[in-house]
């Protein structure tokens, strides 16, 4: 089987999310990549070095500069005559593009896979991760999005893919990019961090969030996350949110501070290797999934912990 | 301007799903069902656009007869009329998108607002598929919508921040959590909703093949986490972190 992977990149480098997709695609057969964007020769060169990659298709055109699904999907479709499966990371861009491709190919997409059981059978989470479904597809072409935390990342070196230019399919003219506001991160990225310190509503306000959660995160070299309650209350921006509707993370260590553990939050972090909970309510549901729990006042415990580390 | 809002009846988000012992699915007998939370946000957004050029809101649901309740909820919130495409078969996002395409062609809405994902299947596909089938623009994961006469400008929640795109109409929007706070239907509006029109259709009326492409072989519970330990103080926690190599 020949697979085609949509490469997530920022115009300069390949994003980590793509590497997990390469590992998933390698289980299906020959791995080809698609680098679409504007001025992406550097990205293509980097992509060709990823271990296990056969061919790197490069579509360099202004129409692909902002990964608009309306323009990227027809490009992918133009390459699907010679490929059997299309895979994308389950990132916001991947989730935006892949279903449009599936509809144009008249196939049903398999979202957010956790494993490849065989050529046509995959597992995926449903009901906020409270159940795992094994699904088999009857479609001739497969369209799949891959959960990044469920597969190891392919090596970024050792590969020797061949780079091939592909013809642009043009700007469909139904949508245009206006602007983007990307938060500046001084800490590791949430989805790839080894350690995450996450805060909830119990922090009470934005000042406390910054003065209590961030010093602990910095001591541990950790990324900072948040529950929906903390985001809704405005303590931190939306993209800090971990959960069914936010980011799905699976770090080595997840420290939940003042988070009760609603099922929607657990959906985003319960595959973490070790979960540590700090909460004053000893009946909080978070303690049912925590490997290590500490019951007490976070305003006393967390600064003390930061101090002792 | 007409707006179409597809809504789905799902297991209430507060209910913990139970996997059936025979591994065929999640037990939905005698559990509370509600409108998918993202769809409530979609209905709310359509209503809020009413003073910005929207004249009619049509809610659509596809599924068993009980989806009528979900449509009545949408009508009680402020939708003008409803269409139920009744079927007892399970319809996948591709089938739903094809049915919606047929409805869009019949109704000619300028805007279609869907939830970004249903909290049962967690697919996050239908809006994008519908946009692809119609060949129109899509703005997924919307957190802000500004409607003009022939275009809509949408701020979207993306990894790392937000992005704003402009789409020509007709267009598809899928809602994210932050778009709005849905209203509760008042009792008088719930009563009024009972007399609002609700058309009943079947997939055959639209001549759409909705046969499933995927077969669910089994559904199991995720691996259970082993019971953890409670530590008494921060000294013990520091010791644990050091033992794990997380702290020096």
Please, what CATH class does the domain formed by A190-308 belong to? Answer: alpha beta
Across B223-227, average pLDDT:
82
C-alpha neighbours within 13 Å on the C-beta side of residue A49: 9
Looking at the complex, report in whole angstroms how far the Cα of residue A36 sits from the nearest Cα belonging to chain B. Answer: 18
Interface test with chain B among A175, A196, A276, by most B beta carbons within 10 Å:
A175
Across B185-204, average pLDDT:
97
Contact (CB<8Å) A138/B213: yes
Angle formed at CA A50 by CA A45 and CA A55, multiple of 5 degrees: 65
Report the pLDDT value the prediction gives residue A192, as an integer from 0 to 100: 84
Distance from C-alpha of B135 to C-alpha of B138, rounded to nearest angstrom: 9
pTM exceeds 0.90, yes or no = yes
Classified as helix, coil or strand, B12 is coil
Contact (CB<8Å) A69/B131: yes
Contact (CB<8Å) A174/B218: no
- CB interface of B with A, residues 220-239, below 8 Å: 220-222, 225-226, 228-235, 237-238
Among the listed residues A26, A54, A93, the one whose alpha carbon sits nearest the alpha carbon of residue B128: A93
Report the pLDDT value the prediction gives residue A185, as an integer from 0 to 100: 73
Domain boundaries, chain A: 2-165, 190-308
- Tens digits of residue pLDDT in A271-288: 999 999 999 999 999 999
Report the pLDDT value the prediction gives residue B51, as an integer from 0 to 100: 80
Is pLDDT at A184 greater than 80 in this prediction? Answer: no
Contacts of A225 (CB under 8 A, 6+ apart): A190, A196, A197, A198, A199, A240, A241, A242, A247, A249, A254, A269
CB contacts, 8 Å: A228 with chain B: 177
A262 annotated ligand binder: yes
Tokens of A201: 């509503």
Looking at the complex, report in whole angstroms how far the Cα of residue B70 sits from the nearest Cα belonging to chain A. Answer: 19
Report the pLDDT value the prediction gives residue B111, as an integer from 0 to 100: 98
Measured torsion, CA atoms of residues A186, A187, A191, A192, in degrees rounded to the nearest 10: 110
Tell me the average pLDDT of chain B: 95
Distance from C-alpha of B31 to C-alpha of B73, rounded to nearest angstrom: 18
* pLDDT category of residue B50 using cuts at 50, 70 and 90: very high
CB-CB neighbours of B94 under 10 Å? 26
Across A194-213, average pLDDT:
96
Burial A71-98 (b: 16+ CB within 10 A, else e): bbbbbbbebbeebbbbbbbbbbbbbbbb
Report the pLDDT value the prediction gives residue A187, as an integer from 0 to 100: 87
Report the pLDDT value the prediction gives residue A238, as an integer from 0 to 100: 87
Domain boundaries, chain B: 2-244
Per DSSP, A64 falls in state: G
CB-CB neighbours of B127 under 10 Å? 32
Question: Quick check: do A2-165 and A190-308 share a fold?
Answer: yes
CB contacts, 8 Å: B122 with chain A: 111-112, 125-128, 244
Q: Are strands B111-115 and A131-137 parallel, antiparallel or unpaired?
A: unpaired
- Select the residue of A180, A220, A289 nearest B246 (Cβ to Cβ): A220
Q: What CATH code would you report for A2-165? A: 3.40.50.620
Distance from C-alpha of A9 to C-alpha of B246, rounded to nearest angstrom: 30
Residues β-bridged to residue A132: A125, B220
Among the listed residues B142, B166, B133, the one whose alpha carbon sits nearest the alpha carbon of residue A175: B166
- Select the residue of B16, B138, B221 nearest A263 (Cβ to Cβ): B16
Distance from C-alpha of A291 to C-alpha of B26, rounded to nearest angstrom: 27
Report the pLDDT value the prediction gives residue B227, as an integer from 0 to 100: 75
CB contacts, 8 Å: B141 with chain A: 92, 96
B159 touches A: beta carbon within 8 Å: yes
Across B184-190, average pLDDT:
96
Cα-Cα-Cα-Cα dihedral sign, residues B95, B96, B99, B101: negative
* pLDDT category of residue A246 using cuts at 50, 70 and 90: confident
Q: What CATH code would you report for B2-244? A: 3.40.50.620
């Amino acid at each position: 089987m020949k697979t085609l992977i949509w490469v997530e990149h920022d115009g300069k480098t390949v994003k980590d999310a793509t590497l997990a997709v390469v590992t998933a695609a390698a289980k299906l057969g020959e791995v080809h990549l698609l680098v679409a964007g504007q001025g992406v020769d550097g990205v293509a060169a980097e992509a060709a070095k990823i271990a296990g990659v056969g061919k790197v298709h490069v579509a360099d055109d202004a129409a692909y500069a902002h990964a608009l699904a309306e323009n990227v999907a027809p490009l992918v479709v133009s390459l699907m005559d010679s490929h059997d499966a299309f895979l994308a990371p389950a990132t916001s861009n991947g989730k935006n593009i892949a279903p449009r491709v599936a509809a144009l190919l008249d196939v049903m997409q398999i979202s957010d896979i956790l494993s490849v059981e065989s050529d046509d059978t995959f597992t995926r989470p449903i009901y906020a991760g409270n159940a795992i479904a094994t699904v088999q597809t009857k479609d001739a072409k497969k369209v799949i999005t891959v959960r990044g935390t469920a597969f190891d990342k392919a090596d970024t070196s050792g590969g020797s893919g061949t780079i091939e230019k592909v013809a642009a399919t043009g700007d469909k003219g139904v949508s245009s990019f206006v602007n983007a506001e990307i938060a500046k991160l001084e800490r590791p990225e949430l989805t790839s961090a080894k350690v995450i310190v996450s805060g909830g509503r119990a922090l009470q306000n934005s000042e406390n969030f910054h003065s209590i959660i961030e010093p602990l995160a910095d001591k541990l070299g950790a990324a900072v996350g948040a529950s929906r309650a903390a985001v809704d209350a405005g303590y931190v921006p939306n993209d800090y949110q971990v959960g069914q509707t936010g980011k799905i993370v699976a770090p080595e260590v997840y420290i939940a501070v003042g988070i009760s553990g609603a099922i929607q939050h657990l959906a985003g972090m319960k595959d973490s290797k070790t979960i540590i909970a700090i909460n004053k309510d000893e009946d909080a549901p978070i303690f049912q999934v925590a490997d290590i729990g500490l019951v007490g006042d976070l305003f006393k415990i967390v600064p003390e912990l930061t101090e002792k580390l | 301007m007409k707006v179409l809002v597809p809504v789905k009846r799902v297991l209430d988000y507060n209910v913990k799903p139970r996997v059936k012992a025979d591994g065929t699915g999640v037990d939905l007998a005698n559990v509370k069902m509600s409108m998918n939370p993202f769809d409530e946000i979609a209905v709310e957004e359509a209503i809020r656009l009413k003073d910005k050029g929207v004249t009619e809101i049509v809610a659509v649901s596809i599924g068993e007869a009980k989806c009528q309740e979900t449509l009545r909820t949408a009508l009680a919130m402020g939708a003008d009329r409803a269409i139920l495409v009744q079927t007892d078969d399970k319809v996948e996002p591709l089938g739903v998108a094809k049915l919606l395409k047929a409805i869009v062609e019949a109704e000619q809405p300028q805007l279609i607002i869907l939830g970004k994902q249903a909290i049962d299947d967690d697919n996050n596909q239908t809006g994008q598929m519908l946009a692809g089938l119609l060949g129109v623009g899509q703005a997924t994961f919307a957190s802000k919508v500004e409607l003009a006469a022939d275009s809509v400008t949408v701020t979207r929640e993306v990894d790392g921040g937000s992005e704003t795109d402009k789409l020509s109409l007709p267009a598809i929007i899928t809602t994210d959590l932050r778009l709005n706070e849905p209203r509760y239907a008042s009792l008088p509006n719930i009563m009024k909703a009972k007399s609002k029109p609700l058309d009943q259709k079947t997939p055959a009326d639209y001549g759409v093949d909705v046969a499933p492409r995927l077969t669910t072989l089994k559904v199991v519970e995720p691996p259970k986490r082993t019971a953890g330990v409670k530590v008494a103080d921060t000294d013990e926690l520091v010791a644990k972190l050091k033992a794990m190599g997380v702290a020096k």
